[in-house]
Structure 1
Amino acid sequence: LEETFSAPELAEAEALCQTQLAPQSDYVDLTDRPFVTIDSASTQDMDDALHAQSIGDGWLLSVAIADASLFVAPGSLLDLAARRRLSTTYLPGLTLPMVPEVLANDAMSLQPDCQRPALVFELSIAADGAVTDLRVQTAHVRSRGKLSYADVALWLTDTNLLPADYQQLLPLQQATSAMAGWRRQHGNPMQDRPDYRVRVDNDFRVTAVDKETRDVAREIVEESMIATNASVANWLKADSALFMTHRGFKPDRETELKGLLRDTVAEVADLNGHDLTDFRTIMAAAAGLADFPLLTVLQKRFDRGAWSNSAAAHFGLGLEQYTTVTSPIRKYSDLTTHRLIKAKLLNQPLQIAEDLVSDLNERGNIPRQVGNLIENKLRLQWLAQQPDQVWHATVVHVTAIGLIAQLDDNGASGLIDMRRKKDDYSHDALRMVLKFADHTYQLGEALQVRVARIEDDKMMLALV
């Protein structure tokens, strides 16, 4: 990972701050629309700002996304630098941006009370949460507030606390709540999982590990981003653009999964898992099963997502097509899609570098993998310093030798070696269970554990 920018790259960034922040004559003036950003309190590279208003029995949702492509021209020094990085890397106490911070955290960022260029996506939302129309335009916007997830969640939980300046959060919540309901009925919503933030001091020593759960504020942002991405993908579907695809179950697991479905939800066992409508029905039936975590077992058999230059279904989300446009400051894929959007608006041909799709598929996840590796290392160092205690944990994976359990409070995962138990057991790899004479362990099961030992960045746990 590249940690710094060269002097010429920094000079190019400084020069762009002066030129590209000047008003663009062909941009619409939307500075009177009271957008707000909602993010972590420490975030500076703010890609998106939101606004919603009631229209009849529905809403108009406006999503302003930082106009990074106005600053980063194809083939420029900064474009080549961003192309090498592919995305911003977030590490505990350290951010390695895709573009220099003078752009990422200032000129491009939708900072409050600052006029900024943006791509604005206007989504017409019906009463049932369906997106019925999309309008795309380049515009100047001005955020009215840098709001944190914590504050927004507090205000919307008790609306008596909602400041007068941010009353627009109410229709925003109503619209995104309806959109979430529509996705639950027509898509394949992701399971709610907490995020864990490793906090460090100036010497990169861990001071805390914070657990962040999905709340109303995060739902607002998540639903707005997914709807925007899906709507843009639908708008681009006939073009050679950039799409995130997901084909559902791994092809080599189809036969065994059929057998599992016959044993658990026989009514959907003969459906075609490669047809999106049938796939949604299968997943809905799995989610409704009360006595066995079939949904999680099926998700363990998902294939990986992949970038493509032609539209295809995203089975994981249950959507006909999908792309990402909402993080152009942080992701080269989104920056590229912004360029394609502008070309389409101008009736120009859409072009993608031939090797970009393969490069995104081969290298695109490296920054996240590095971040996860470093977070895990630091988290285990912190855990090793904690007093011996009982931890609440959840089974997240089952192997032939034992259970992988995740500590609920801090997200650390470790192995419980079940071979140490004296009685015989059987491992059902298809259902992902371990069967003992007196108990059957399965995914999602709550446990109480102690940390047995930590070594070589791995953790061994013991059942209490």
Structure 2
Amino acid sequence: MPRRPAGGEPPPALPTKDALRRFLRASPDRLGKNDIARHFGITAEQRPALRVLLRALEAEGAFTPPPRPGRLPEMLPVEVFGTDPDGEPLARPLGWKAEQGRAPLIYMQPEATGQTALAPGDRVLARLKSIGGGKYEGRTVKRIGGAAPSRILGVYESGRIIPTDRRHKAEWSVPPGEAGGAEPGEIVLAEPLPGRALGPKPARIVERLGRMGEPRSVSLLCIHAHGIPEVFPAEALREAEHARGVSLQGREDLRAIPLVTIDGEDARDFDDAVWAEAEGSGWRLLVAIADVAHYVRPGSALDREAWARGNSVYFPDRVVPMLPEALSNGWCSLKPGEERGCLFAELRIDAGGRKTGHRFGRGIMRSAARLTYEAMEAGEDPAGTRAALYGAFQALLRAREARGTLELELPERRVLLSPEGRVLGVEPRTRLDSHRLIEEFMVAANVAAAEELERLVQPCMYRVHDRPSEQKLEGLRQFLGSFGITLPPGDQVYPRNFAQALEKLRDAPEAPLVHEAVLRGQSQAEYSPENIGHFGLALPRYAHFTSPIRRYADLLVHRALIRGLKLGPDGLAESEAARFPDTGEHVTATERRAAAAERDAVERYLASYMSQHIGEVFDARISGVTRFGLFVTVTANGASGIVPLRSLPDDRWTLDEARHALSGQRTGLSFALGQKVEARLAEAAPLTGGMVFHLLQGIPPRSAGGRRRG
């Protein structure tokens, strides 16, 4: 029975939220409603009001009710602490104490399209569903903040810092004397200072990075936002500057073979060259790769820095290379007419593209021509090998189709910049047969490298890609089921099943979104010395051999081949082989960091370009449907943004999750995934990359405004 005040006295006043917060923080145990009621002498009549207060604190993350024995509550504040092998966020209950035992593992489901993904340190109120084994599936109900950042990246404006991260909306104040000489409009790095609980938190500026709006400011922001190493140590630069060309000793002479490089117009390095000739009913191929291992020796300053970076990072206006320019754009770049050291794969395939033999060696080569994809597609053939290259490509393509690989059509976006760094436009890159030709040659060489290392009983850094998890497969089943497409049971799903689904929807308006959904439903590829095969390519073994100039994993494959084939003294060291598991995790993480930074840059450039077109109307498709609004993607350039629910006509809107649709009860309007719409750009923030659109459907013409753009 609840304790009542004696002598007929009036009950004590209900505690304030602040009093409850202080009491909960001071308690060493997780308390329930009954414990709190007993402590404050809450009467039965006051309990409904107490429940309201506790729900408000629960939504803030300040109160976590104790779970029922052996089970977490349906709604719980959680904190993201990392990602699973697929790159999806993992969380644990907020405030979980070590004495409570091992924290339950919560797999947070992907955020709605267009919403910023959860990152370590983020806190959300989640709706949980048990999936057995002490594990849960979580869906975000609302964000409730995160841990204080160790550093703040933003733009300084007269005593305040405006964050550049969409997830951190609150501005920071800069007390007098803590600006570090920064001027308004400059991009700055700052660190939090102890400060007051109310109002903007204080911060001290520790580094000035340049002025927002200047050329290269967008990529500069992304470099610092994602913690990408940019400056090479002096010792590594010295080692690169001392590099010289290779001699013929111990190498095969390939200089008479007209190998050619084929890259994009804006390519900054050339590390692979190809050649082919007909041989009976099949083909003989050569894939020659820059000999990075000759210059970057195990344990050297260059090697330590290359390991730390993991890979090069490519932005529209610059590249942050894995190796200093003296190598990446010099001795390890296969420039036409210049002698270069290489490792090569000699491959023989039959008319159906099946490999009948391979051989690896170390050589010296001289590129006969530097071709672009566009020039190759247009018929340029300075080395006289175009017909043979395309013949071998068609054979490899037949083998790929026979395997039934997963091929997603997700056009890459190209940012067009003026010499001054101003955004002129953003357009999709056209995918040509010449792109696919190089991809097929590289895949063939990568497969052969993995097979050769297994034959030599050498360590191999595999490129692995697991089949989709059961949770992701179930989500895909539901999504594809709304289009009348079924998938086999989990262990019977193969890449060809997804390919068949995509083929059925090839001409459907939702096709681009289905490609994106299938991509999100896949596991993420990674590097590992343990081989589980490559699901997407339908290959039992696969390794990256073809880009050691920009991927550390490829350099390790080169070193392992050099050791196994006894091609020189600069092969894989035993100490490196012992670290393969840790190195695989590390380079997987640096690859994902680079991909996030590159995506981030394109989004900011897009927002910068679109900010010149506020008020204009664009053809778009609905790319996400949620309870709080819609997401749209502009057809012409891929710009995406939110359509807030409040911007839609006044109505009672209902979400139909099965149909991925939002319907109005009074207006009769309905908005569904993939639907063509006309969207007016209302806001574009280059600082964060965020955009807000308003739809014209259901809006009176006089309020639409703006100029229409296709």
Contact 2:476–2:517, Cα closer than 8 Å, also in 1:
no
Distance 1:304 1:255 in 2: 17
**435 and 93 in structure 1: CA distance in 2 versus 1, 3 angstrom threshold:** same
CA shift, 1:15, in A, is 1.1
Report the equivalent of 1:47.
271
- Is 1:335 the counterpart of 2:544 in the alignment? no
1:233-248 residue pairs with structure 2 within 5 A?
233-237=450-454, 239-248=458-467
CA shift, 1:241, in A, is 1.4
SS at match of 2:311: coil
**128 and 370 in structure 1: CA distance in 2 versus 1, 3 angstrom threshold:** same
Bigger mean CA deviation after superposition, 71-80 or 6-15? 6-15
Report the equivalent of 1:353.
579
**Which residue, 441, 447, 460 being the options, matches 1:230?**
447
SS at match of 1:75: coil
Report the equivalent of 1:38.
262
- Is 1:321 the counterpart of 2:541 in the alignment? yes
- Is 1:286 the counterpart of 2:501 in the alignment? yes
Contact 1:92–1:204, Cα closer than 8 Å, also in 2:
no
Distance 2:477 2:265 in 1: 46
Residue identity in the other structure for 1:299: L
**462 and 250 in structure 1: CA distance in 2 versus 1, 3 angstrom threshold:** farther
Report the equivalent of 2:597.
370
SS at match of 1:453: strand
- Cα distance per residue 1:204-233 (max 9 Å; x no partner): 322332431101221221222222223323
Contact 1:193–1:214, Cα closer than 8 Å, also in 2:
no
Distance 2:692 2:679 in 1: 10
**463 and 170 in structure 1: CA distance in 2 versus 1, 3 angstrom threshold:** farther
Bigger mean CA deviation after superposition, 111-120 or 394-403? 394-403
Residue identity in the other structure for 1:462: H
Distance 2:652 2:390 in 1: 53
CA shift, 1:377, in A, is 1.2
Q: Percent identity?
A: 28
Contact 1:183–1:189, Cα closer than 8 Å, also in 2:
no
Residue identity in the other structure for 2:308: R
- Is 1:460 the counterpart of 2:692 in the alignment? yes
Distance 1:400 1:131 in 2: 52
SS at match of 1:274: helix
CA shift, 1:458, in A, is 0.7
**Which residue, 324, 332, 342 being the options, matches 1:100?**
324
Distance 1:460 1:74 in 2: 50
Structure 2 residue runs of 5 or longer lacking an equivalent are 1-227, 697-710
**53 and 302 in structure 1: CA distance in 2 versus 1, 3 angstrom threshold:** same
Report the equivalent of 1:158.
none
Report the equivalent of 2:341.
117
Distance 2:451 2:551 in 1: 20
Structure 1 residue runs of 5 or longer lacking an equivalent are 156-161
Distance 1:451 1:173 in 2: 44
The structure with higher relative contact order (CA 8 Å, sep 6+) is 1
Residue identity in the other structure for 2:461: L
- Cα distance per residue 1:135-167 (max 9 Å; x no partner): 211111111011112211212xxxxxx44x333
SS at match of 1:230: helix
Distance 1:184 1:311 in 2: 23
Contact 2:408–2:515, Cα closer than 8 Å, also in 1:
no
**Which residue, 406, 410, 419 being the options, matches 1:193?**
410
**391 and 256 in structure 1: CA distance in 2 versus 1, 3 angstrom threshold:** closer
**432 and 42 in structure 1: CA distance in 2 versus 1, 3 angstrom threshold:** same
Distance 1:114 1:390 in 2: 51
Distance 1:432 1:175 in 2: 44
1:139-158 residue pairs with structure 2 within 5 A?
139-155=363-379
- Cα distance per residue 1:285-318 (max 9 Å; x no partner): 3223346756654433222222211211221222
Report the equivalent of 2:58.
none
Contact 2:404–2:496, Cα closer than 8 Å, also in 1:
no
Report the equivalent of 2:519.
299
CA shift, 1:202, in A, is 5.0
**431 and 108 in structure 1: CA distance in 2 versus 1, 3 angstrom threshold:** farther
Distance 2:358 2:320 in 1: 34
**Which residue, 53, 68, 81 being the options, matches 2:305?**
81
Return the structure number with greater helix share.
1
**Which residue, 380, 383, 397 being the options, matches 1:166?**
383
Instruction: Give the TM-score normalised by structure 1.
Output: 0.87
- Is 1:393 the counterpart of 2:620 in the alignment? yes
CA shift, 1:322, in A, is 2.1
Question: Aligned-pair RMSD on alpha carbons?
Answer: 2.8
**396 and 318 in structure 1: CA distance in 2 versus 1, 3 angstrom threshold:** farther
CA shift, 1:177, in A, is 2.8
CA shift, 1:336, in A, is 1.4
**391 and 121 in structure 1: CA distance in 2 versus 1, 3 angstrom threshold:** farther
Report the equivalent of 1:159.
none
SS at match of 2:303: helix
Distance 1:235 1:428 in 2: 53
Distance 1:447 1:177 in 2: 40
Report the equivalent of 1:450.
680
Matched positions, count = 449
Distance 1:47 1:345 in 2: 22
SS at match of 2:367: strand
**39 and 254 in structure 1: CA distance in 2 versus 1, 3 angstrom threshold:** closer
- Cα distance per residue 1:230-275 (max 9 Å; x no partner): 3323333565311122222223244555566777677x64x44335
Distance 1:405 1:320 in 2: 39
**367 and 296 in structure 1: CA distance in 2 versus 1, 3 angstrom threshold:** closer
Residue identity in the other structure for 1:315: F
Distance 1:53 1:131 in 2: 15
Q: Radius of gyration: which is bigger?
A: 2
Distance 2:562 2:421 in 1: 42
SS at match of 2:348: strand
Bigger mean CA deviation after superposition, 430-439 or 354-363? 430-439
**453 and 353 in structure 1: CA distance in 2 versus 1, 3 angstrom threshold:** same
